[in-house]
Every structure is written in C-alpha cells, then in structure tokens.
Structure 1
Amino acid sequence: MPSTMRAQRLDTRTLTFEVTDVPVPQPGPGDVLVEVAFCGICHSDLSLLDGTFPAMGPPVITQGHEASGTIAAIGPDVVGWAVGDRVVPAAGRPCGVCRSCLRGDYGSCTALALMAFAYDGAWAEYTLAQAGGLTRVPDNVSLEQAAILADAVSTPYGAVVHTADLRVGESVGVWGAGGVGTHVVQLARLVGATPIVAVDLDPVVRARALELGADLALDSRDPDLPARIAELTDGAMLDVAFDAVGLTVTFEQALAMLGTRGRLVGVGMSLEEVSLGSTLGFGLSRKQVRGHLGYDVADVGVLARLVSTGRLDLSRSISGIVSLEDVGEGIRRLQERDGSPVRILVQP
C-alpha cells in the first residue's frame, strides 16, 4: 500500500478545491479501505461547492459520495469481506447511539453522518467505508454503473418504493427528468406505474425520458400542460408526482397536477419556500406531501440485482468520465447542463 494518495480537496471556508497529496487512511475496527474506481458528481456536491448546503465536518474535506471500487485493506473485526471484492460503499454512516440505532434500526438513524459532508468522500484514490454499509457488485455489472447506485439510482428507488409507496397502475408525473428524475421514470415503469409523464424544460431530456419509459413528456411552460395530463388520465389527474428539482415553481406545479388523495414526493432540494395553498383546499383535496432523503443500504443490493439480471438498464446514465484534475470541468458540465448529462463520473 502507498503511504499517500491523490484527493480532490474542498476548503469549505473559501469554496475552492484542488488536487493534493494526503495520507492514505487506515481502516479501524469494522472498516475497510476501498480503492476507488469511479465516483459520481451529484447536484448535492454542487450545493456544497456554492454554499447552499453547509459543511458538516472539517473545514477541508474530500467530496464525492457515489463510489464504487475494490477492497484494498480490511480493518479489525471485519468478516465476510476480502481484499479484491468489488463493492459500493454506503453514502452515510449511522451514529450508533440514537434511539433508532440502539434498537438496530440503522436506516432510521436520526443523526446520520453524510459522506463528503461530514467525513471524507471518494473523489480520491482511496476511501474508508464501514463494512456494514458495503454492497457487493455482481461480476456482470460494470463499476461505472455500480458507482451511481449509491445515490443517483438508490435515492429515486427509495422515493418510488418507500416514500411514495407507488402501486401498480398508478399514474405518475416526474418534474425534472435529469440525473435523479431519469431514474424515477425508469423505476416507476419497472414498478408498473401507468401512465408516466415527464416534465422538463430541456427538449433533449424530454426525448430521453420517452425513450426510457415515459408515456408523455411535456415542457413545464406549456399552457396546455394541465389539460394534457387530464386527457391522459381520463380527468383524474396524477396519483403521484415526484419533484426532482426542488424549486418553488416545480413543487407547486406538481402539487396542482395531483388528483384527489394524490401524493407529492419532494426529492430535489433548495432553500426556496413553497406554499400548499389554502388549508381549506388542501384539506378537501386530501392530498399528501412527503419529503424524501436517501435510501436504505439494502436498496443498493436490490438495484445491483436488477442491473445484473437485465431488468434495469443504466447504459445511458453515464454521460462522461473525468479525472481528478478535471473535476472542475465535470462540475461545469453539470451546472450548465452541457449535453444534458445524467451523471458524470470521476475516475481517480
């Protein structure tokens, strides 16, 4: 093992980043050291870079939380894993001391530490991970596609399966069919939702959504959008709407497109405020608004099986690969929507 490694380090005080040499971390009890193959660039990474989301850990931190790689070293008390195993690390660590953790419900931890926000992430040659949060990558699943399972696909999965509790035959709308929304469309179709409406400003994104399973793709600025959704749903409007953007305009438009007892799931996040309208209208419509964040570690394993068995096709989800030194270019492409990317990966 080398003693040092290259890592893309962010100074959260100045919001500047650069590649530097840092010590290779040593796995402690219950930990493994993962040699990083790929790590995605996520919109939440951009939110840390522009100061929208505050840092939760040290002032200088390694970003990146959508990682895949191979185990390079194993710490004490780790069983069931071996050097060379292909894995995806979880993008968070349960605290171990809250009420949920003490009863073994780590997925409901109330003080979850987020990778790349509270502790060093994987825009580096190596990253530390808890053995309990690892998912094994099947041999026929590429490490490129495996990397995005740990947020870009698992967060939509959690939103569709857990938070929305989407049922076969329910109608769905997806506001923002980019990095997260693309996978909401695919997973909603896999679950059996019908019809599925994708709503996005970008015509390239709308065309891609149709190819990946949407029945209709609309521009949110289209004045006929409510009428077209009503026509597609025989006047019932949507059973479930996913806001993968998190802006006031997308949240409120999605809410307005719901039918009676419809469910809005907020997946995208920003600092913008939203309105539910009058309490009278909200109560009479019996609509529900549900916030969503993250996924259960077990979800990554389910998704890995779906990709391995050909049920879920992520071949169009990797829009480009950049080196550690070119992370800035990957960030620019994502910020400017250059090429309408789904996910851009960093390859250390």
Structure 2
Amino acid sequence: MKAAVLESGKRTLEIREVEVPRLGPTSVKVRIKACGICGSDVHLVLHGTLKCSHYPQIPGHEASGVVEETGESVSKFKKGDRVVIAAGTSCGECAHCLNGRENLCKNLGVFGFDREGSFAEYNVVEERYLYSLPDKIPFEQGAILADAVSTPYNAIKFRGRIQDGENVAVFGCGGLGIHGVAIARALTSGKVIALDVDRGALENALAYGADEAINLKEVKNAGKALKEISKGVDVLADFSGRTSNIQESLRAMNSGGRMVMVGIGRDPLTFAIPFSIIEKQITIAGSYGSDRRAIPELIDLYVTGKLNLSKSITGILGLQEINSGLRDLEDRKGNPIRIIISP
C-alpha cells in the first residue's frame, strides 16, 4: 500500500510503498477514506517538538473508512461497514479501560505516534477501536470526530459538566477550540464567548455559533473583558495553554464554575491560587483526549441536527499532497480548520 512515512530527524513525509499491517484474529482491515491533519501532526513533522515512540512511523490519528476484511474473532463489523477509528490506544485490560475511561489508562497512546497511523491506503486496528459511522455523515466529517471534535467534547461535556443555560468561554479557537465552540452551542442555551488573538479564528467562531468574540490583542485584561460581556462564566475551556488567560479569567467565573485545561502551550502552566477559587468553589480540571462515550454521543448530536460540521473541512488533498497540507495548516493559509487527506 501507499503511505506517508516519517523517518527520525526528517521534517517532511515520504510517500512510499509499504506492507499492509498483518490482520490478527481480533483486528479489522480498514480502507482509509479520510484522515485529518491535526496541529499535533504539524508539531511532529515540521517542528520536531513531538516525537514518535519508534521510527519509521506512519502518522495520522483522525481517520474514517470502510471495513475491507475482518479477523476470525471479530463480531461487531463486517466487510463494507463504514467506521471511525478512535485516535487513542490503550491496554484494554486495566480498570480504567474496562470502565470505558481509556484516556486514563497508564499505557495511553495515539495512533500515528505510538502505532502506525492512517496517512495510508489501509490501516489494521483492533475491533475495540472502531465505531460505526452512519451513512448520513460524510467520511471527511466522520474522520475528525476521532480527535478534533471528541477532545473538546470530553473537555466541555464530561470534565466541564456543562448544563443547559450555563455560559461558556472558549480560549483558543484553532482546530480543537473551534469545535469547542460548536459543542458548547449544541449543549447550552446560555452565552458562548470565543477568545483568540487571530481574527480569522474569531470569524470562524462566530460562524459556529459564538454569541461574542473577544480579540485578545485588543483588550488589556482578558478576565475583565470576559466578565463585562458574559456577566459571569460557568464553564471555561482553555485550548491555548497560556497561563495569563487562566489567571486573568478567574475574576469572570461564577460561583461553582469549572475551568478545564486542554491546550498545551510552550511554557508550563504556573499560577497562584487566589482566595477566590476557595470562596467561589471553582474547580480546575485537566482534560486529555476522550473516552468511548464521546464518539457515539457526537454521532447522535450530528444525526439529530444539533451539531453541524459542514464548515469544518477546509480542503481535501490526495496523499501525495500531504506535505503541502501540513505547510498550509502551519501558515494558516485560507484560514483552515481541518485539511483532510483522502488516500
């Protein structure tokens, strides 16, 4: 099969012929129809700031496709089924995995980093990593459910414990944060406020249902501006990883509010714990990836018309064009949300 391969120390992907992974008794061979380029792929390939567990490696962790062949012990899927491949890998045997909380597994990994990914014509994965994709959902939109949509869903729904009518603030409206806006809009009738330094990202956020957009380049204090517009925030989801955003925004939080940290910035998150956290009983939580609850619930939101991902696909490229797709995402050419590779 053809695949995009990353060698150690390289800053570009090489398209080459490789062997199709071997099919085991509990695994499924999937013909890849779509695989999203994530910001982490840019860090992995172009920047070298993220590393794979081994090289050479096939990146790609947001994939959908069609079942081509199944192992003898596979019972849930058959040839021709449309599927989404989960982004994360886990041991499948620990208490967290058995309780459906795979993103807490101590052996948590990611396709394309710890195992072969889906910038390829095929991938072979265990049955437990697959989710049925309804005909109503295009492969391109189905692929990004694996990370770009499920990661912010985990943050806002499960870690932020959002309730209808609550106000939500989303810091950082890139590939993850923009879907945080869409998810917040789907789950609450309260105010949804987007904050970013990029004008294009804020325009995207308004198109996804944000009530207000705050350009952080144009305000002296994010928390003060947020407080004035929102009159109080119940759930704050940060996809930027910037300490100042969190520190300043405490003043905008309502009593009982939840602040969820998702973004990983260049600098460590370090901030003082003011008395207001105690007085207002504010929760600060981390959120990483998602567990097996997310994708089925997101599919239900999509099918029932509460979640619209039609604006999420900026472009579709062939496998040979993957390096230009990585550069376009890094340069934000065309104000991209998700560029899809279609092998």
TM-score (norm 2): 0.92
Partner of 2:84: 88
Deviation at 1:46, TM superposition (A): 1.9
Moved over 6 A (4+): none
Q: How far apart are the structure 1 equivalents of 2:226 and 2:95? A: 44
Q: How far apart are the structure 1 equivalents of 2:11 and 2:207? A: 38
Note closer, same or farther for the CA distance 1:296–1:103 as it changes in structure 2 (3 Å cut): closer
Q: 1:346 aligned to 2:341? A: yes
Q: How far apart are the structure 2 equivalents of 1:250 and 1:335? A: 23
Q: Any residues of structure 2 matched to 1:247-262 within 5 Å, and which?
A: 247-255=242-250, 257-262=252-257
Q: Any residues of structure 2 matched to 1:47-196 within 5 Å, and which?
A: 47-49=43-45, 50-56=47-53, 58-101=54-97, 106=102, 108-196=104-192
Deviation at 1:100, TM superposition (A): 3.0
Partner of 1:307: 302
Which amino acid is the alignment partner of residue 20 of structure 1?
R
Q: Which deviations, in whole Å up to 9, do the C-alpha atoms of 1:266-322 show, x marking residues without a partner?
A: 111134112222454544453322111111223212212222232211110001111
Contact preservation (8 Å) 2:168, 2:233 = yes
Q: 1:320 aligned to 2:315? A: yes
Unpaired segments of 5 or more residues in structure 1? none
Q: Which deviates the most, 241-250 or 192-201?
A: 241-250
Deviation at 1:90, TM superposition (A): 1.1
SS in 1 for 2:18: strand
Q: Any residues of structure 2 matched to 1:190-205 within 5 Å, and which?
A: 190-205=186-201
SS in 2 for 1:47: helix
SS in 2 for 1:334: helix
Count the aligned residue pairs: 341
Deviation at 1:327, TM superposition (A): 1.1
TM-score (norm 1): 0.91
Deviation at 1:228, TM superposition (A): 3.8
Deviation at 1:188, TM superposition (A): 0.8
Q: How far apart are the structure 2 equivalents of 1:315 and 1:102? A: 34
Match for residue 28 of structure 2 among 32, 36, 44: 32
Which amino acid is the alignment partner of residue 188 of structure 1?
A
Note closer, same or farther for the CA distance 1:280–1:306 as it changes in structure 2 (3 Å cut): closer
Contact preservation (8 Å) 1:264, 1:288 = yes
Contact preservation (8 Å) 1:254, 1:264 = no
Contact preservation (8 Å) 2:5, 2:15 = yes
Question: What is the RMSD computed on CA atoms of the aligned residues?
Answer: 2.1
Q: How far apart are the structure 2 equivalents of 1:112 and 1:278? A: 30
Contact preservation (8 Å) 1:138, 1:305 = no
Q: How far apart are the structure 2 equivalents of 1:124 and 1:177? A: 29
Q: 1:263 aligned to 2:258? A: yes
Contact preservation (8 Å) 1:6, 1:22 = yes
Q: Which deviates the most, 162-171 or 7-16?
A: 7-16
Deviation at 1:99, TM superposition (A): 4.1
